[in-house]
Amino acid sequence: MTPLDTLQAHSSFFVICLGGALALPLLSFLLCFYVSEKYSWATSVLAPFLMMASTVCAAVVLYQAWNHPAFTWQRVWFSIADHTFTAGIHVNNASALMLFVVTGVSFLVHVYSIGYMAGDTALRRYFAMLGFFTFSMLGIVVSDNLLLIFVFWELVGFSSYMLIGHWNESPAAAEASKRAFIINRVGDAGFLIGLMLVWTHGHTFNIEALRALPLDPAWMTAASLCIFCGVVGKSAQFPLFTWLPDAMEGPTPVSALIHAATMVTAGVFLLGRAHFLFTPAALNVVAITGAITALLGAFAALSQHDIKKVLAYSTMSQLGLMVAAMGAGAPEAALLHLFTHAFFKACLFLSAGSIIHALHQAQHQSHVNFDVQDIRLLGGLRKKLPFTFIMFVVSGSALAGLPLFSGFLSKDAILAALVHWSNTGDAWHWVVLLVVALVSFVTVLYTFRLVWTIFNGEEKSTASLVVSEPPVVMRAPMAVLALASVWIWFSWNPFSFSGWIYNHIGAAKDFHGGFVSMASAAWVLLALAVAYASRGRKLDSRLLAQGFYVDLFSRKAIEQPTLQLADLTHRADKKWIDGFLHATAYAQVIVANLTGWFDRAIVDGFVDGAAGLAKSIGSFTRSFQGGKIQLYIFWAAFAIIIFIIWTLL
């Protein structure tokens, strides 16, 4: 398809909207930075407005691009020798939908932030980085080129670092942002190696061009596993997931954005985008990694006390499910879950933020101090925060995968895909299926526990507080997201996942999921019953609370030795290298002094001596010049006589 055809197939309005969707977040970033301190309040109007415009543009793009040939636009980026690097945009169904979801969630988070972040001192930086974060993510979504994706991938890493560490005056936030950044770098190193491998074998980074190339499977296994390293880092898979719970130190809207739309989903999206690169062997690794992550995340969520940490581990677990689905060769299912998850997880986070915000406000008024995020101190908030309660229940139901909610559909799709996969492949595939089933069971347990602990029972620490619902700017986004968590948007039939999205975001396979849906619904309801029955029990496991000690392990086994090594090299540097330098410096000074002395005493002395000799010779030859002519004549005659005698003898 030539560019001209592309232009004909896509109107200029479409191109403008696409450009707008991409450029407006960047514009928001720039404007927010250049607004003066005095007008920093303007950013909280400007940034959401621009984001809204971007969302509208993205909606237009989605509408026009849906079920149309992919829009491609390509330019030569740079050339080295005879290799030309292109940069371009590729918009197909999946990326158009992702574009809309990212801008939409981002817009809602922006609006929510107006209320949540009101009065923050660094509002401009906050909104600027929010815009930049969104822009970077959009870059990943629409790029047609792995190298370009990598560039935006790194920008996402950078902006997440800025946002997690937004309250950089808190040591924990600074530490968390640093950890997130560094752990992501570990994965990105693998990504980079993967890119090199791809280039070496394909001589192009263009995804569509790579799709058409015959590639060596052995090398592609290596390359795709390396790229998967990047995904593991970005999407918080085992074993590089520890940054995700830590990242809860950031502002809650940022957490919502990270978990729903802009950061962790990037890895899953990349898996979908570059799915063809993955060989069966590599996919097995992906599936197993995903399953392990899902299991770890689910169980860790079960015994967390921090409201946001529960959600963080749940995200990790859900991401594991998506990755497992990818590994099982069902990118459509994974992407469907990605989209549904984006909405209900964003809603969950915003609701959690709403609780935190409301309790903080209340604490301010009554001067009571306790950790508002610790669910053990909460309870019975159903009456004080009815709206939030409803939001939490709706989005929590979606997370748990209850029927009639979006989560049920997408989880169904994943389970159906896994069932199909288990039927066709090796025996151990069943293990993965069982793990995923177990995860969905546990998901219900921890979600129920979370909702029950916060909203039911008797009020504990909050009893004396006067708590009021957050303002409309915060409630409205929650409402929109909760609304988006019901099944209707994804498929007409609440028990069939093969709706308009699932069938068109990829080469969809119909797994005839009727049986799976029924079994899944029964399974979830059973889990709900178990959860209700065991609602009073407390699962106090240090292993689970600490996230299976992976963090501790990485600290002890990797960080500490690394730091010790660093300390060792530092000391070696100080002692030996610096010592050597000092010694050479001293030696130099000594040599300089010696040469200086030599210069003064010997060279200068020699010169002075020569000059002195010359002068003394001069004064000797001159001494005959006494001024008396008799003496002159005497000396002359004397000299001549001496001369004659000397010559003759």
Partner 1 sequence: MQSFAEKLQSTATSFGGFVPELVLSAGIVIIVVAGLIARKQPVWTALLCALVFLASLLFELTYWNAYATPRGLFSNMLRSDSFSAYLRIIIDISGLLTVFMTTRDPKPLRFHAEYYALLATVILGAHLLVMSQSLAMVFLSLEMISLSSYVLAGFSFSRHGTEGSLKYFLFGSVSSAAMLYGFSFLYGLTGTLDFSAPEFARQLIEHPSPLFFVAAAFALAGFFFKIAAAPLHPWVPDVYEAAPTPVVAFFAVVPKLAGLGVLARFTLVLQAGGHAIFDWQLVLCAVAILSLTVGNFSALWQKNAKRLMGYSSVAQSGFLLVGIAAFLPQGIHYLLFYASAYAVGSFIVFLYLHYFERLGFSSLESFAGTGRVWLWPSVFLLIGFISLTGLPPTGGFTGKLFIFTSLWDAYQLSGKSIVLWLMIFGLLNTVVSLFYYLRIPFFAFVRNGKHVATTNNLTFENLLGLLLVVGILFLFFNPGLLMGWINKINFAL
Contacts to partner 1 by CB under 8 A: 614-615, 617-622, 624-625, 627, 629, 632-633, 635-637, 639-640, 643-644, 647-648
CB of 608 to partner 1, least distance (A): 13
Residue 636 Cβ vs partner 1, minimum distance, rounded to whole Å: 5
Nearest approach, Cβ of residue 621 and partner 1 (Å):
4
Q: Which is nearer to partner 1, 1 or 603 (CB)?
A: 603
Q: How far apart are the first and last CA of the chain?
A: 117
Q: Would you call 403 helix, strand, or coil by DSSP?
A: coil
Do the Cβ atoms of 110 and 46 come closer than 8 Å? no
For partner 1, the closer CB: 488 or 611: 611
Nearer to partner 1, 533 or 629 (CB): 629
∠82-84-85 over CA atoms, to 5°?
150
User: What is the three-class DSSP state of 72?
Assistant: strand
Nearest partner of 311 among 362, 369, 375, judged by Cα: 375
Q: Select 121 or 625, whichever has its Cβ closest to partner 1.
A: 625
Q: How far is the CB of 572 from partner 1 (least distance, A)?
A: 55
Q: Supply the minimum distance, in Å, between the C-beta of residue 643 and partner 1.
A: 7
Element (H, E) at 85: strand 83-91
Least Å from the CB of residue 573 to partner 1: 51
Q: Which is nearer to partner 1, 577 or 611 (CB)?
A: 611
* Three-state secondary structure readout of 240-288: CCCHHHHHHHCCHHHHHHHHHHHCHHHHHHHHHHCHHHCCHHHHHHHHH
Nearest distance in Å: CB 604, partner 1? 16
Question: Judged by CB, which is closer to partner 1: 488, or 613?
Answer: 613
239 cis-preceded (ω within 30 degrees of 0): yes
Between residues 80 and 649, which has the closer beta carbon with respect to partner 1? 649
The SS3 of residue 457 is coil
Q: How far is the CB of 598 from partner 1 (least distance, A)?
A: 23
Residue type at position 157? G
Residue with Cβ nearer partner 1 (12 or 621): 621
| Nearest distance from C-beta of residue 78 to partner 1, angstroms | 56
Structure tokens of 312? Answer: 């963080």
| CB neighbour burial string for 431-442, b if at least 16 within 10 angstroms, e if fewer | ebbebbbbbbbb
CB of 620 to partner 1, least distance (A): 8
Q: Cα(440)–Cα(236) distance, rounded to whole angstroms? A: 19
Minimal distance, residue 624 CB to partner 1, in Å:
6
The first and second tokens of residue 334, run together, are 């994974």
Q: Which is nearer to partner 1, 13 or 624 (CB)?
A: 624
Q: Least separation, in Å, of the C-beta of 605 and partner 1? A: 18
Q: Could you tell me the smallest distance in angstroms from the CB atom of residue 638 to partner 1?
A: 8
SS (H, E, C) 366-384: HCCCCCCCEHHHCCCHHHH
CA atoms within 13 A on the CB side of 298: 24
Tokens of 12: 């200029």
Q: Which is nearer to partner 1, 557 or 640 (CB)?
A: 640
Nearest residue (CB) to partner 1, 369 versus 621: 621
Give whichever of 368 and 631 is closer to partner 1, judged by the CB atom.
631
Question: CA 278 to CA 124: how far, in whole Å?
Answer: 42
- DSSP string of 190-241, one letter each residue: HHHHHHHHHHHHHS--BHHHHHHS---HHHHHHHHHHHHHHHHHHTT-TTS-
Burial group, residue 393, by CB count within 10 angstroms (0-12, 13-18, 19+): middle
Looking at beta carbons only, is 214 or 627 nearer to partner 1? 627
Question: Does residue 546 sit in helix, strand or coil?
Answer: coil
Residue 219's nearest CA partner among 233, 232, 200, 205 is 200
